[in-house]
Chain A
């Protein structure tokens, strides 16, 4: 599995986590934030990001509001109450998974 596939699989959790910290963000801002946090390692394309945002919105985890910025409409996403709970649950689930994965990939770490 390529790293882009791994990233795509975790994208919803990344989005939920960022919005948990930032209150509200727009699409391009999310791509830039991920790029900044990973020092350019993770590059999120619009083709992966917006379908994820639309899916989370359809599932009721995100709510949106629009603002006029420099003559164009900007759509901001923020977490709903359900989205907040989902963010906490998914992040904790992923952390546990990464910990278990580390034990499998590097058993010595588990014994330290």
Chain B
């Protein structure tokens, strides 16, 4: 038994009230629910309202969205680590440039503490600015269809912030007394941030082509 257009729209309306950000989850849920309602009406011989009530009581859209976000965050981190291992020319140049600036700062007598604070500040500002530039370029598109890039950007920004915050809380004093490790930490973080931004750039390009 096929549902009428107004019945499908009724289900679509219910889904739109569930605070789901992802268009693809909405689409997938709609198809699943329509199939389930059609089956209930056909084999259990119940009316549309009863079949829909039964199906609505069985689905949990919020859980689906949470799980999807979790897998996407993990995938973004995995992709970033993959990028780190590839070490492309642009990343190598970025690393050399940032480390050269840091070494130059060290040579002109700037204290390790100032270098670290300045480095962390510039890293966060750069991640925010570059991520914002991707999102700004997507402003003309349907906001909900941009959620994939937003989510990946969120992973890169959040993970960078967490690394910086934890280092500031637990390793700050130790790094001040071990300058070699301080530079190693900054090198690794720069490497991570550049890799993350390259993953974000790939996601942006992929999304832009897919939605053209």
CB of B99 closer than 8 Å to a CB of A: no
Contact present for B68 and A51 (CB under 8 Å): yes
Shortest A14–chain B CB gap in Å is 17
Question: Is A66 interfacial (CB-CB < 8 Å)?
Answer: yes
B71 touches A58 (CB 8 A): yes
Q: How far is the CB of B136 from chain A (nearest CB, A)?
A: 27
B59 at the interface (CB under 8 A from A): yes
Chain B positions within 8 Å of A70 at CB level: 2, 8, 34
Which chain B residues lie closer than 8 Å to A51 at the CB level? 63-64, 67-68, 71
Contact of B34 among A55, A66, A72 (CB under 8 A): A72
Interface class of chain B by DSSP = helix
For the A-B complex, the count of residue pairs with Cβ-Cβ distances under 8 Å equals 61
Known: A28-B32, A46-B59. A72 touches B64 (CB 8 A): no
Check A38 for interface membership: any CB of B closer than 8 A.
no
Q: How far is the CB of B192 from chain A (nearest CB, A)?
A: 20
Complex partner residue of A27 from B8, B32, B67, B71, CB under 8 angstroms: B32
Count of chain B residues with a beta carbon within 8 Å of a chain A beta carbon: 25
Nearest B residue to A28 via CB reads B35
Tell me which residues across on chain A come within 8 A of B60, comparing CB atoms. 46-47
Which of B22-30, B120-128, B153-161 touches A? B22-30
B68 touches A28 (CB 8 A): no
Shortest C-beta distance, A83 to chain B (Å), equals 15
Once A46-B64, A54-B68, A58-B74 are accepted as A-B contacts, the answer to whether A72 and B32 lie under 8 Å apart by CB is no
State in angstroms the CA–CA spacing of A47 and B59 once bound together: 7
* A97 at interface, CB cutoff 8 A: no
A45 interface residue (CB < 8 Å to B): yes
Q: Does A69 count as interface, using CB distance less than 8 angstroms?
A: yes
* CB of B36 within 8 Å of the partner chain: yes
Q: Is A71 an interface residue (CB 8 A)?
A: yes
- Assess whether B27 is in contact with A75, with CB atoms less than 8 Å apart: yes
Q: Which residues of A contact B28 (CB under 8 A)?
A: 27, 50, 75
Asked whether A45 lies within 8 Å of B58 as measured between CB atoms, the reply is yes
Instruction: Enumerate B1-16 residues with CB–CB distance to A below 8 Å.
Output: 2, 5, 8
Complex interface bits, B25-65 against A, C-beta within 8 A gives 1, otherwise 0? 00111111011100100000000000000000011100110
Q: How far is the CA of A66 from the CA of B170 in the complex (A)?
A: 48
Q: Which partner residue on chain A sits nearest B59 by CB separation?
A: A46
